[in-house]
């Protein structure tokens, strides 16, 4: 029991740091027009490649400097966060709904349902995910909804595999047998007895998947396959920053840090939530 | 004719054709405790699962019938069978930890069954559960009902499961080694509780165990099982006074005695096992002939 408590204490700062960053980034993204210091699209060639605030030649109001077209980097990051979060939430939730449902069915019912679903998952996972994504977006056409759809189509298998395995483990527990003896229907047992026990894993995966969705969206923007090139996206900014790395390193470095912090926070947040949700670990 | 549970010539096979239950016949009268003894792997639990309709999908019943209060379980449509088993039977499981859903509070798990399967009102179910918790000597029902299973001790969990098993007034309870996973000190209390509730409620119990000491204490009738075959069936008193089958005698001789704690444990005699093996082979031969 002491061990459990010590672990819980260890979990807290992780939850707070990760959650804090996500909340900050999320609020900034939601209220972007209010908190963004400049118009993210306004170009001003007089202000090109301004350095961040602590360096010589920085201009007040352009905290993280500007890119080679004189656009304010901080504002672009904040507005890019909007797209990152929209994609993260919708794609992860869509992938989660599809994957968890199929995983639950495969794991609980077994037999031919499991065989079909598992084979589909195997085939699905044989595709390299990033290439698959690029291919899908090329077929679906660029745009926010195609990006979301592409990520959901690719990543539902993550949920499916894990939830299937967990469900199989739970289905052999005595309490499931007890419920069968009591006369519950199969679907009822699946939803009322098994599902609550896999929810912690679903939550952790969901958070992890949000981080992955952020990366995939960045990759797609990087290769210019995400949404229209006008809107700032983290991947797009990174792609532009790469071109001017020798003249203005900050255009590459700040979006990278933002991306890494966000993805890391999502995964840590998920782990911490899992511990919170799990009645045995709690 | 109608006993509480009547099993006649029940045979079950694995996919490879091997018999795991060999023409088992068994009868439990209403309100009677019938013990099912045997070594691990003898098929005791399998019989319990067959009665409750939760055999593993790989095990197939190929012959025989089971009657629960006169209703032929094999002839009922699946749904009616489930309802009948759900209403008339209950299980007291071996491992009280995995038998409770870890992510749901004890109270909701206990009342759920009464409400959703038997259609009781929530209030009636709650009253009933509290009454049963009192019968199993749980003094702080509020705390227990609000707890998650892992917050209770093993003995507490088993009490909860006993209360849950008796709550719907089943006619037959299958107790599958209900004390094996518990501390020796708790085992006795739990056993006493089961017997006490059994008497008060007049429930028949099919008591699966490997412990002859327990058998002697609580059951009126015993079936000794070896390799899925009933080798001896008798009134408990008669069995202990004069065991007929050599295997039963060997099993009794193998029971460790408190009076002589330093004596080495005796396994069942080789000659007895050889005799059993040929007995079973002969039975299988005889069984296969009409079954191809």
Instruction: List, as one string, the DSSP characters of A136-152.
Output: HHHHH-SSHHHHHHHHH
Instruction: For residues B233 and B226, give the distance between their C-alpha atoms in angstroms, rounded to a whole number.
Output: 12
pLDDT digits (tens, 9 = 90+) for B239-263: 999 998 888 888 888 877 667 767 7
Q: Sketch the domain layout of chain B as residue ranges.
A: 5-291
For position A2, what pLDDT does the model report?
Answer: 42
Mutation site, B100, B103, B162, B166, interface A, largest A CB count within 10 A: B103
Between the two ends of chain A, the Cα-to-Cα distance in Å is 10
Local confidence pLDDT in tens for the 292 residues of chain B? 468 999 999 999 999 888 889 999 999 999 999 999 988 888 888 999 999 999 888 899 998 999 999 899 989 998 899 989 988 999 999 888 889 999 899 999 999 888 888 889 999 999 999 999 999 999 999 999 999 999 999 889 999 999 999 998 999 999 999 988 888 888 889 999 999 999 999 999 999 998 888 898 899 999 999 989 999 999 999 999 999 888 888 888 887 766 776 777 777 778 888 888 888 888 888 877 766 5
- Distance between CA A163 and CA A23 in Å, rounded? 28
Least Cα distance to A66 among A80, A56, A76 occurs for A76
Contacts of B266 (CB under 8 A, 6+ apart): B253, B254
Query: Residue A9 pairs with which residues in a beta bridge?
Result: none
Give the residue from B237, B260, B240 showing the smallest Cα distance to B252. B240
Question: Which of A177, A184, A197 has its CB closest to that of B103?
Answer: A197
Count of Cβ atoms closer than 10 Å to residue B276 Cβ: 19
Does B38 touch chain A if contact means CB atoms closer than 8 Å? no
List the domains of chain A with CATH numbers.
2-277 (1.10.3720.10)
Q: Which residue has the tokens 């609580």?
A: B218
Interface ipTM:
0.83
Q: Does B146 touch chain A (CB under 8 A)?
A: no
What residues pair up with B18 in beta bridges, in sequence order?
none
Percent of chain A with pLDDT over 90: 48
Percent helix, strand, coil in chain A, to 5, is: 75, 0, 25
The mean per-residue pLDDT over the stretch A94-114 comes to 95
Q: How far apart (Å, rounded) are the C-alpha atoms in residues A160 and A84?
A: 24
Task: Say yes or no for a CB contact (<8 Å) between A196 and B89.
Answer: no
Residues of A in contact with B86 (CB under 8 A): 181-183
- Cα angle A235-A236-A242, degrees, rounded to a multiple of 5: 90
Rounded distance between C-alpha atoms, residue A126 and residue B242, angstroms: 68
Tell me whether residues A197 and B89 touch, CB distance under 8 A.
no
CA distance from start to end of chain B: 32
Chain A residue whose CA is closest to B150: A280
* Dist. CA B74–CA B132, nearest whole Å: 32
Note whether A173 contacts B100, CB cutoff 8 Å.
no
CA pair distance B80, B86, nearest whole angstrom: 10
Query: Tokens at residue A216, please?
Result: 């995939």
- φ/ψ of B243, rounded to 5, equals -65, 135
pLDDT score of A6 more than 50: no
**Burial of B149: CB neighbours in 10 Å, binned 0-12, 13-18, 19+:** buried
Name which residue leads in pLDDT, A154 or A274: A154
Number of H helices, E strands in chain A: 11, 0
Chain B residue nearest residue A281, CA to CA: B150
The pLDDT of residue B24 is 92
The verdict on domain B5-291 having CATH code 1.10.340.30 is no
CA-to-CA distance for B252 and B249, rounded, in angstroms?
Answer: 5
C-alpha–C-alpha distance, residues B38 and B225, integer Å: 5
Nearest CA of chain A to the CA of B3: how many Å?
Answer: 21
Task: Out of B91, B102, B116, name the one closest to residue A178 (CB).
Answer: B91
Section A126-139 average pLDDT: 88
- A174 closest CB neighbour out of B87, B99, B116: B99
Interface probe, candidates B87, B96, B101, chain A, greatest A C-beta count within 10 A: B101
Residue contacts between A and B (CB atoms, under 8 Å): 58
Residues of chain B positioned with their CB less than 8 A from the CB of A193: 101, 104
The DSSP secondary structure of chain B, one letter per residue, reads ---SEEEEEEEEE-TTS-EEEEEEEEEE-TT-EEEEEE-TTSSHHHHHHHHHT---TT-EEEEEEEEETTEETTTS-HHHHHHHHHHHEEEE-S-TTTTS-TTS-HHHHHHHHHHHTT---HHHHHHHHHHHHHHTT-S-HHHHHHS-GGGS-HHHHHHHHHHHHHHT--SEEEEESTTTTS-HHHHHHHHHHHHHHHHHHT-EEEEEES-HHHHHHH-SEEEEEETTEEEEEEEHHHHHHS--SHHHHHHHHHS--TT-TTSPPPPPPHHHHHHHHHHHHHHHHHHHHHH-
CA nearest to B170 within chain A: A182
pLDDT value at residue B239: 92
Q: Which residues of A touch B102 (CB under 8 A)?
A: 175, 197, 279-280
B93 close contact with A: CB closer than 8 A = yes
pLDDT tens readout for residues B79-88: 899 989 988 9
How far, in Å, CA of B221 to CA of B202, rounded?
A: 16
Q: Does A175 sit within 8 Å of B100, measured CB to CB? A: yes
Write the pLDDT tens digit of every residue in A227-264: 766 788 898 899 888 888 888 899 999 999 999 999 99
Asked if the Cβ–Cβ distance from B148 to A183 is below 8 Å, we say no
């Amino acid at each position: 029991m002491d061990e459990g408590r010590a672990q819980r204490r260890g979990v807290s700062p992780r939850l707070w740091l990760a959650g804090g960053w996500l909340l900050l980034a999320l609020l900034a993204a939601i209220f972007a027009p209010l908190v963004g210091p400049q118009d993210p699209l306004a170009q001003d060639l007089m202000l090109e490649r301004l350095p961040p605030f602590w360096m010589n030649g920085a201009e007040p109001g352009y905290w993280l400097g500007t890119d080679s077209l004189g656009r304010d980097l901080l504002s672009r990051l904040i507005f890019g966060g909007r797209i990152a979060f929209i994609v993260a939430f919708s794609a992860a939730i869509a992938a989660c709904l599809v994957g968890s449902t199929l995983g639950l069915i495969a794991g609980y019912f077994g037999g031919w349902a499991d065989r079909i679903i598992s084979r589909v998952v195997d085939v699905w996972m044989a595709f390299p995910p990033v290439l698959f994504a690029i291919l899908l977006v090329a077929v679906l056409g660029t745009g926010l909804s195609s990006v979301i759809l592409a990520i959901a189509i690719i990543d539902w298998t993550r949920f499916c595999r894990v939830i299937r395995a967990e469900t199989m483990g739970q289905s052999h527990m005595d309490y499931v047998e007890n419920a069968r003896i009591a006369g519950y229907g199969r679907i009822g047992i699946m939803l009322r007895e098994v599902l609550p026990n896999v929810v912690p894993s679903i939550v952790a995966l969901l958070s992890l998947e949000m981080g992955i969705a952020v990366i995939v969206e960045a990759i797609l923007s990087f290769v210019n396959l995400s949404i229209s090139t006008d809107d700032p996206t983290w991947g797009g900014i990174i792609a532009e920053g790469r071109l001017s790395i020798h003249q203005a390193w900050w255009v590459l470095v700040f979006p990278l840090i933002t991306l890494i912090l966000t993805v890391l926070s999502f995964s840590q947040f998920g782990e911490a939530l899992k511990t919170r949700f799990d009645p045995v670990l709690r | 004719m109608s006993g509480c549970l009547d099993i006649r010539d029940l045979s079950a096979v694995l996919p490879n054709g091997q018999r795991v239950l060999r023409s088992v016949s068994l009868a439990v009268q209403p309100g009677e405790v019938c013990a099912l003894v045997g070594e691990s792997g003898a098929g005791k639990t399998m019989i319990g699962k067959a009665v409750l309709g939760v055999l593993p999908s790989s095990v197939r019943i190929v012959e025989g019938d089971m009657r629960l209060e006169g209703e032929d379980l094999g002839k009922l449509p699946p749904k009616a069978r489930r309802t009948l088993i759900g209403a008339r039977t209950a299980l007291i499981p071996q491992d009280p930890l995995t038998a409770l859903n870890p992510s749901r509070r004890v109270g909701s798990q206990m009342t759920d069954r009464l409400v959703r399967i038997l259609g009781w009102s929530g209030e009636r179910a709650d009253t009933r559960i509290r009454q049963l918790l009192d019968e199993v000597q749980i003094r702080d029902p509020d705390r227990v009902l609000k707890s998650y299973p892992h917050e209770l001790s093993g003995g507490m969990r088993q009490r909860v499961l006993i209360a849950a098993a008796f709550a719907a007034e089943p006619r037959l309870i299958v107790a599958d080694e209900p004390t094996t996973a518990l501390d020796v000190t708790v085992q006795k209390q739990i056993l006493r509780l089961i017997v006490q509730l059994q008497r008060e409620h007049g429930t028949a119990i099919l008591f699966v165990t490997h412990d002859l000491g327990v058998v002697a204490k609580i059951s009126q009738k015993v079936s000794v099982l070896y390799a899925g075959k009933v080798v001896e069936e008798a009134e408990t008193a008669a069995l202990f006074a004069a065991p007929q089958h050599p295997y039963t005698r060997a099993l009794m001789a193998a029971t460790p005695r408190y009076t002589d704690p330093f004596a080495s444990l005796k396994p069942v005699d080789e000659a007895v096992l050889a005799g059993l093996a040929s007995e079973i082979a002969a039975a299988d031969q005889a069984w296969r002939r009409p079954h191809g």
